[in-house]
Amino acid sequence: MATKSISRRNILKSLTMGAMASSVLRVIPLEAAEYAHHMVAAEKAATPAGSYAPKFFLPRQYKTLLALCQTIIPADADSGGALEAGAPEFIDLLTSENPKYQLKLGGGLMWLDAACSDRYEKTYLDCAPEQQKEILDLIAYSKNAEKDASLTPGVEFFALLREMTVDGFFTSQIGIKYLGYVGNTYLLSFNGCPPVPEA
Amino acid sequence: MPQVVRSPKVYDVCIIGSGAAGGTAAKVLAEGGLSVVMLEAGPALNPEKDFKEHVWPYQIPHRGGGIGGKLKHEVGDEFMAPNGAWEIDGEPYTSAPGSQFRWFRSRIVGGRTNHWGRIALRFAPVDFRSRSTDGMGDDWPLTYEEVAPYYDKVESYIGVFGTKENISSAPDGVFLPPPPPRCTETIVKKACDKLNIVCIPSRMAMLTKPLNGRAACHYCGQCGRGCLTASNFSSSQVMIPPAQATGRFTLITGAMAREIVVGKDGKAEAVAYIDKATRSEQRVHARAFMVAASACESARLLLNSRSTLFPDGLANSSGVVGRYLTDSVGSDAGGYFPQLEKMPPHNHDGIGGMHMYMPWWKFDRKNDFLRGYHIEFGGGRSMPGVGEFDGICERYEGYGASLKQRCRTMYGTHIGFAGRGEMIPNEKSYCDLDPDTVDQWGIPVLRFHWHWSDNEIKMAKDMQETFRSIVETAGGTFLSKAKPDGSRPYGIADGGVIIHELGTVRMGSNPKTSALNKYCQAHDVKNVFVTDAAAFVTNPDKNPTLTIMALSWRASEYLLDQAKQGSL
């Protein structure tokens, strides 16, 4: 589709012309364009996992969080996963500021280890991959808690963690690229919709 | 002891509030030759610093989610200009037992115009004549024909796009060309055509062409964050600057108005305000006063302006101040549209808001309820943000590769619908002063009383049914959390949530049942005007901001005339 992008030079030119017509409006088109370009130039990859000092989670909890994030949104042939996207750092930051998240995620990680300990006599991280899958398959679906109420805290914990991991991945540079979002740019005109296929 | 400093200067006009109403008055009055001082309770706005235009979510630590412990979806997130909030530290409000009301307030130059959706709809002729039409509520003391020239002036100056449609419920205006529809809008329009629901280009205050020195929109879809090129309308960027350019305009920020002080002659002579920086009381003197602090703040200021002459508050001999409080009837739903899965990646941003909407279309038949509503809608492949896939997580659950792929497949396939309808004023919906609570400036706060009547509930029901028929006609899956019962029947939003609260200092021809005349001038105190939506007699389904500006412009011209005649 022929969406017309503008070069930086053209933006500055058109915005400057707009500004010349104005004598009283305190609008800063030239600076505006500079600012936006500065921001775009400042794009940087997410902090690599490992070098990060968690603000809320204890080191061992944070290791469990990393493992869970990776399982919720894994890397694949098309892109990196939640870890590469910096989702754990994002979750840690939001949790460090919010008592509700602290209770649900902090408590949820404790609950997970206790549930693994009851079932397998190991913490989640020490469990075999098939055991980890077994417990996650239980708490990843709310219908399981309808059958077994003792799973409810785990289901609620996992629901919040899933949402925040998904948020962390899809708001990252790699996540946005993975979705194929095209935008956040300057257009001289908006072209509307390419032909829509039938339902 | 509080220090009281009296300013010797007497301005022609003091405007309280810098939003849609205050900004319009400032421009018209200062350009008209009067000296104007404006009080704003918040700080100045600095677009360069405050606006996050073109920033990606991964460039800011919270990715646009809640800062400082706020839940991740709350308004006032990291992307937004410092627009305002549902709760302001040190400035509470209360709700009477059993009442659900939320109040969104701004404390910044430009007020809520920095935040608003920029939907700019004219009221229709019938909207000014409600009682004559269906026997409920009251007629306005003025007609559409009296307001129309001011709609023209406002639209010509601020820039509104739209199309001439000749629909009686949605009068045409002075329009810039509309942007072409996005895919989501193309699909919905087609379904509406089949259902005989009117679906037309929206009317929004964004520039599709350069106007009055402002650059045209560059279609980044981020109007809500504030626009560095001022290609969308805000009072801070479009109304205040021309007032400042006259050299006759003084802006005082961080000034929380406490009381309008009346002289022995019964005329207002000063505003007592708190200078927030020094926590000291100040006074500013003027010959006339434009109260434009937002409907409920304006009512609060009048109620707090009690004196021997006006024991029940200024301009309140009728007792109507605080009464007739309404908000829009709001109910939302959404749909999954499978055809959108097949769309190739393309730039879907457009303006920051809808390119099409449905004006009230059932005005020609008998309905289960009085008055009407319009429908706003939007969705598609917009910039991914926090919360983007909450619905998918909730519906499909699970984890791993399948979840990741599902999010990609279903990205941009959701369209949300929001009905915005007319509430009829009722006895149980009003605000008054809470006798037990003051804010941190020592000013008594508002207490809200709220009740939805059956007419509004029936309207919300109709909205839900309409959303369903549109979604299903388009081949989509209807998604709604609305239930017929409970505290929010048919998904009706709590009072105040749509942020169209108004009517609390209403105008009318009878001084016994209204506070203002048709020029927004107080019946009781001729040099006091209330030019925000407090003056409204009814709350039609149209978003109030355009009408606020038209009425404020009209009141300001009236005041200029008075000044020319020497009666200021």
Which residues on chain B are in Cβ contact (under 8 Å) with A166? 388-389, 392-393, 403, 407
Element (H, E) at B257: strand B255-262
Contact A148, B371 (CB under 8 A): no
In a domain, residue B395? The reply is yes
Q: Do B388 and A167 touch (CB under 8 A)?
A: yes
Average pLDDT, chain A: 82
Outline where DSSP puts E strands in B41-139: 94-95
Q: What is the pLDDT of residues B260-290, one digit of tens each?
A: 999 999 999 999 999 999 999 999 999 999 9
| A153, B126, B209, B330 from B134: Cα distances, Å | 54, 10, 41, 22
Q: What is the mean pLDDT of residues B76-89?
A: 79
- B214 contacts on A by Cβ (under 8 Å): 18, 22, 25, 27
Residues B64 and B166 in one domain: no
Q: Has residue B351 been placed in a domain?
A: yes
Its pTM stands at 0.91
Is B408 a member of any domain?
Answer: yes
pLDDT (average), residues B404-418 = 97
Shortest CA gap A196–chain B (Å): 7
Rounded to whole angstroms, the Cα distance separating B381 from B411 reads 7
> Of B438, B469, B491, which marks where a domain is finished?
B491
Q: Residue B463 — pLDDT band, cuts 50, 70, 90?
A: very high
User: Cα angle vertex B198, ends B193, B199, to 5°?
Assistant: 80
**Rounded distance between C-alpha atoms, residue B482 and residue B238, angstroms:** 39
- pLDDT exceeds 50 at position B461: yes
Write the residue in A162, A168, A193 that is nearest to B399 by C-beta.
A162
Using an 8 Å Cβ cutoff, are B524 and B311 in contact? Answer: no
Q: Which residue has the tokens 């409810």?
A: A152
User: Are B383 and A184 within 8 A, CB to CB?
Assistant: yes
Considering the domain architecture, whether residues B66 and B168 belong to the same structural domain is answered as no
Compute CA distances A20 → A14, A15, A16, B158, whole Å. Answer: 10, 9, 6, 18
Identify all chain B residues contacting A93, using CB atoms and an 8 Å cutoff: 61-62
Instruction: Say whether B394 and A188 touch across the interface (CB within 8 A).
Output: no
Nearest to B13 by CA among B235, B292, B316, B238: B292
Is residue B499 a contact partner of residue B512, using CB atoms and an 8 Å limit? no
- Beta carbons of A42 and A173 less than 8 angstroms apart: no
Query: A193 and chain B: CB distance < 8 Å anywhere?
Result: yes
Beta strands in B268-401 (DSSP E): 268-275, 280-291, 329-336, 356-357, 373-379
Question: Shortest Cα distance from B322 to chain A (angstroms)?
Answer: 36
Mean residue pLDDT of chain B comes to 95
> Which whole number is the average pLDDT over B352-360?
97
Residue B191 parent element (H or E): helix B183-195
Structure tokens at A37: 């370009």
In this prediction, residues B190-199 reach a mean pLDDT of 98
Beta bridge partners of B214: B211
* pLDDT value of position A42: 42
Taking residues B374-388, report their average pLDDT: 95
What pLDDT, in 10s, does the model give residues B27-78? 999 999 999 999 999 999 988 888 888 999 999 999 988 887 777 766 556 7
Residue type, B502: L
The DSSP secondary structure of B212-224, one letter per residue, reads TTBPPP--BS-GG
Residue B325 has pLDDT above 50, yes or no: yes
Of A15, A24, A74, the CB nearest to B242: A24
Tell me which residue range forms the domain holding B64: 49-80
Q: Which two tokens stand for residue B543?
A: 């978003």
What is the secondary structure of B412-480 as a DSSP string?
A: T-EEEEEEEEPBPP-TT-EEEEEEEEE-TTSPEEEEEE----HHHHHHHHHHHHHHHHHHHHTT-EEE-
Q: Tokens 């404020």 label which residue?
A: B552
A93 touches chain B (CB under 8 A): yes
Among B254, B252, B239, B275, smallest CA distance to B531 is for B239
Residue A41 to residue B548: CA distance in whole angstroms: 41
Predicted confidence (pLDDT) at residue A9 exceeds the cutoff of 50: no
Q: How close does chain B come to A142, measured CA to CA in Å? A: 8
State the CB neighbour count (10 A cutoff) for residue B182.
28
Say which of A28, A164, A185 has its CB closest to residue B228.
A28
Q: Which pair of tokens denotes residue A41?
A: 């130039």
Please spell the DSSP secondary structure of B39-65, one letter per residue: E-SS----HHHH--TT--GGGSTTTTS
Residue B362 and residue B474 in one domain: yes
- Asked if residue B367 and residue B457 are part of one domain, the reply reads yes
Task: Answer yes or no: is B180 within a domain.
Answer: yes
Q: Give the residue-averaged pLDDT of B356-373.
A: 97
CA B353 to CA B341: how far, in whole Å? 22
Q: Collapsing DSSP states into helix, strand and coil, what is residue A6?
A: coil
What is the pLDDT averaged over residues B348-353?
96
Angstroms from A164 CA to nearest CA on chain B: 8
B196 and B63 part of one domain: no
Tell me the shortest Cα–Cα distance from A122 to chain B, in angstroms: 22
Q: Which residue of A has its CA nearest to B410?
A: A179
Using alpha carbons, select from B432, B324, B330 the residue that is nearest to residue B93. Answer: B432
Q: Which residues of chain A have a CB within 8 Å of the CB of B338?
A: 199
Provide mean pLDDT across the span B307-321. Answer: 97
Decide if B394 and A159 are in contact by the 8 Å CB cutoff.
yes
Is it the case that residue B16 has pLDDT exceeding 70?
Answer: yes
C-alpha distances (whole Å) from B194 to each of B165, B191, B471, B472, B495 are 19, 5, 12, 11, 34
- Measure CB to CB from residue A93 to each of B56, B61, B220 and give the nearest one: B61
CB contact under 8 A, A166 and B214: no
**How many independent structural domains does chain B possess?**
2
DSSP state of B181: P
Mean pLDDT, residues B211-221? 96
Residue A196 forms contact with B (CB below 8 Å): yes
Q: What are phi and psi of B180, to 5 degrees?
A: -70, 155
Task: Give the nearest chain B residue to A186 (CA atoms).
Answer: B218
A74, A100, A184 ranked by CB distance to B400: nearest: A74
Shortest CB distance from A18 goes to which of B64, B179, B214? Answer: B214
Contact in structure between B432 and B349 (CB atoms under 8 Å): no
ipTM value for the complex: 0.89
Instruction: Count residue pairs from A and B with Cβ separation < 8 A.
Output: 260
Partner-chain residue, chosen from A46, A86, A180, that has the shortest CB–CB distance to B345: A180
- Domain limits, chain A: 8-41, 59-179
Q: Evaluate whether residue B335 is within a structural domain.
A: yes
C-alpha span between A95 and A89 (Å, rounded) = 10
